[in-house]
Amino acid sequence: MSDSPTKIERERAGYVRMRTQPARTRDQRKGTGPMFEPSYYRRCQCKGPLKDKEGKPVLDTDGKPKIGDIGLTCPKLSKGHGTWYFYFEAERGEGNKRARIRRGGFTKLDDAKKKAKELYDAATAGTDVLSDETCGAFFLRWIKAKKSLARTTRHGYEEHIKNYLLPHLGHIKRRDLKVRHLDKMYDAIEKENAERILHRLRVHQLQKDRDTAHQAWVKTAGYAKREERRVTRRAFLDANAALREGKKGLRKVTSAATMHRINDTLSSALTWGIKREQAFSKNWAQLVELPPVTRPKPLVWTPERIEHWKRTGEKPGPVMVWTPELTGQFLDFVKGDWLYELWHSFIFLGPRRGEMAALPWTEVSTDALWLRVSQQIVEVAYKLYGEAPKADSVRTLPLSLESGDNLVGFRAKQERQRREWGEAYVETGRVWTHENGEELHPDWISRRFTRLVELSGLPPVRLHDLRHLAATLSLLAGTDIKVVQEKLGHSSRQITSDTYTSVLPEMMRAEAESVMAVVPRDVPFVVRSPLEIPEAAWQGDIAVFFAHGARQSENSWAIGAQTQPDSDLVGMITLSGRGQDDAANAAVKWVRDHCTANDLELVRVENFNNRYPEDQRSDFSLTHFMIARSEAPGLDGRALPTGLPPTPGRPSRRIA
């Protein structure tokens, strides 16, 4: 087909030239841009005798009429036969090369006009509507051009391109890509997910059949059952072979979170194409609707959840956090492990595993008590690569005295191992190593931690969950969220608050009791013996004591104040109340009145009612109080200090 129809072809094709045009652009008014004057015509796919420009038959070498495509000269075109086509001139390219945009196959003329305007607007905006590049070629060109990607980010992009974008979008021409193609891709992924789920269910059943066959084989041990054992052994081997065959082609289910990451990869590619070369008219990835993703909220291993886990083996959620008590039990269990100091650092400092694997001794000061996170080890397909972390993750972490002593002790252990291994010892300069000095693989660290948790019998948590734990323990200790953010190496405090903090029961109790303490409740009570805090209960200007309540009859309670569980009462009240809440409110009112009358300050109130077993909670209450003397010594009449405060002497932590 020639670039423009002949006069005869125009007449037969129903040729139409648009004479009424929209307002011209500034470049067009100056004469530097092409006019938007599309030509519309019909053509079909009919075959017949060919004719030249003058309308004469075209003959072959035998003198017979040549048969070919007569799409523009078909006599049926004037009767609504065929489809509509258009072409128009675009801005000339390099070397003043002519650029003609042509499309066809439209059933209605209005559809052709709409498409022509769409392409004209895209071409005017700079989009290369003439390119025949496929999306697959574009994605590969894009990932090759991205020079500044982190290694793990690049690996993730390449996986998405290989497994999803190329199979589903690679064949589509870049200029034709629309949001409907993306919708079809995600629909296909969800269909594949359904098939993969069924495959996994079949494999699960095959595993159960294999395990059952193995148990039957084991039960036939012994010479007397040798015939039966031969049959059960064959059944086990067959079941095991069926399991191996069933596992072939087994693939993970693509989760909603993974689909969002795929879409992020696609969006990044389209954004790059738009900014660099106007390769797309829109970022179609931003118009896709995907299943929502809810970030799993960290849950605390409460006694009720632990009991459920022991009974069923099920975790309440994917992200679990130990309580301080469970954390202490784990540290006690791994006290003799070679990497005890590493587990201690994970719990109290909250680093990433790659940061600990890369930490060199040159970035640690056991005298000044700090370590600097400036390197990390990343794993791609189980291969290790060293690279700098993100700018927000480069940070200096202060160490406690215990953490500093741990590092000193671990370095001493390394020195002993260096002498024992001799020339076979591997010098890496890393802080955390195997006994022979070899560096730790991040994935090995995770697997070792998981194994230690299994051996300890504690409810399971992942190594990465220790970051949640470190943040939660810091908040429990009253640390500001900004300090926790810098400790974990996050770019904003919002990420820290939303992602790495869970609410421990201790924090929930403190919050609940702090609210209760500021809202006085008028619960009538009778003072049987006045509250008198003995001098021995005071530690400086702070005193701590408990109010223990016990039900005497259906609606009668007695509450006694004690400085220790086994000490004498230092005051007592009685009241008529319906339950624990009334008893606790009466105790708070009693202590508050005492503080007001004696110029004391009620600092903190904690309710320990939930410490009682379930069957005793209706009959007992326990409230913890902390009060302070208001006449604490001030600065009146005292000389203000000047200069630097004296530094306490401390022995050096260096290894001789």
For the residues of 571-604, what is the DSSP string, one character each? EEEEEE-SSHHHHHHHHHHHHHHHHHHTTEEEEE
The domain limits of the chain are 39-130, 139-286, 299-503, 516-629
Which among 155, 465, 161, 178 is positioned nearest to 301, based on CA atoms? 465
Instruction: Please measure the distance between the N-terminal and C-terminal CA atoms of the chain and give it in whole angstroms.
Output: 89
Query: What pLDDT does residue 515 have?
Result: 46
Q: What DSSP assignment string belongs to 105-147?
A: EESSHHHHHHHHHHHHHHHHTT--TT---BHHHHHHHHHHH--
Which among 472, 476, 459, 507 is positioned nearest to 305, based on CA atoms? 459
Confidence of residue 162 (pLDDT cuts 50, 70, 90): very high
Question: Is the pLDDT confidence value at 501 over 90?
Answer: no
| Rg of the chain on CA atoms, in Å | 39
Query: What pLDDT does residue 1 have?
Result: 42
The residue type at 536 = A
Question: Is the pLDDT confidence value at 365 over 70?
Answer: yes
Strand partners, 380: 383
Query: What pLDDT does residue 448 have?
Result: 96
Query: What pLDDT does residue 22 have?
Result: 44
Rounded CA gap, 42 and 104, in Å? 9
Confidence of residue 644 (pLDDT cuts 50, 70, 90): low
Confidence of residue 2 (pLDDT cuts 50, 70, 90): very low
Question: Is the pLDDT confidence value at 507 over 60?
Answer: no
Beta carbons of 170 and 136 less than 8 angstroms apart: yes
CA atoms within 13 A on the CB side of 652: 3
Query: What pLDDT does residue 29 have?
Result: 47
Complete edge-to-edge strand list for the sheet that includes strand 370-373:
364-365, 370-373, 395-398
Beta carbons of 626 and 544 less than 8 angstroms apart: yes
Query: What pLDDT does residue 496 have?
Result: 64
Better-predicted residue by pLDDT, 222 or 275 = 275
Confidence of residue 527 (pLDDT cuts 50, 70, 90): very high
Query: What pLDDT does residue 427 have?
Result: 93
Confidence of residue 620 (pLDDT cuts 50, 70, 90): confident
Q: In the structure encoding, which two tokens stand for residue 354, read together?
A: 């790659």
Give the residue carrying structure tokens 């391109």.
Answer: 161
Question: Is the pLDDT confidence value at 125 over 70?
Answer: no
Rounded CA gap, 503 and 323, in Å? 10
Strand partners, 574: 526, 558
Cα→Cα distances 226→35, 210, 214, 217, 609, Å: 94, 20, 15, 11, 63
Question: Is the pLDDT confidence value at 178 over 60?
Answer: yes
CATH class given for the domain over 299-503: mainly alpha
Q: In the structure encoding, which two tokens stand for residue 467, read together?
A: 């970051």
Neighbours of 612 (CB within 10 A): 15
Question: Is the pLDDT confidence value at 522 over 50?
Answer: yes
The helix-helix angle for 505-518 and 465-476 (nearest 10°) equals 30
Query: What pLDDT does residue 30 have?
Result: 46
Chain-wide mean pLDDT for the chain? 82
pLDDT per residue as tens digits for the range 374-412: 888 776 665 666 666 665 678 888 898 899 999 999 999
If phi > 0 it is left, if psi is from -120 to 50 it is alpha, else beta; for residue 222 that is left
pLDDT per residue as tens digits for the range 335-353: 999 999 999 999 998 898 8
Query: What pLDDT does residue 651 have?
Result: 52
Average pLDDT for 573-596: 86
Query: What pLDDT does residue 288 have?
Result: 93
Q: In the structure encoding, which two tokens stand for residue 483, read together?
A: 């300090």
Q: In the structure encoding, which two tokens stand for residue 236, read together?
A: 């086990």
Which segment of 191-200, 208-217, 611-620 scores lowest on mean pLDDT?
A: 611-620
Beta carbons of 524 and 555 less than 8 angstroms apart: no
Query: What pLDDT does residue 531 have?
Result: 93
Beta carbons of 527 and 573 less than 8 angstroms apart: yes
Confidence of residue 141 (pLDDT cuts 50, 70, 90): very high
Cα 292 from chain centre: 14
User: Vertex 113, ends 112 and 119: CA angle to 5°?
Assistant: 90
Q: In the structure encoding, which two tokens stand for residue 230, read together?
A: 């031969």
Confidence of residue 25 (pLDDT cuts 50, 70, 90): very low
Question: Mean pLDDT: which of 8-17, 82-91, 229-238 is highest?
Answer: 229-238
Neighbours of 138 (CB within 10 A): 25
Q: What DSSP assignment string belongs to 363-404?
A: GEETTTTEEEE--EEEEETTEEEEE---GGG-EEEE--HHHH
Beta carbons of 568 and 562 less than 8 angstroms apart: yes
Question: Is the pLDDT confidence value at 142 over 70?
Answer: yes
Q: In the structure encoding, which two tokens stand for residue 452, read together?
A: 């230690």
pLDDT per residue as tens digits for the range 294-325: 777 788 898 999 999 999 888 998 889 898 88
What 3-state class would DSSP assign to 550? strand
What 3-state class would DSSP assign to 310? helix
Neighbours of 128 (CB within 10 A): 19
Q: Which residues contact 144 (CB under 8 A, 6 or more apart)?
A: none
Query: What pLDDT does residue 139 have?
Result: 95
Question: Is the pLDDT confidence value at 167 over 90?
Answer: yes
Question: Is the pLDDT confidence value at 94 over 70?
Answer: no
Beta carbons of 557 and 582 less than 8 angstroms apart: yes
Q: In the structure encoding, which two tokens stand for residue 5, read together?
A: 């129809």
On whether the pTM is more than 0.85, the answer is: no
Rounded CA gap, 590 and 531, in Å? 9
Give the residue carrying structure tokens 């059944």.
Answer: 235
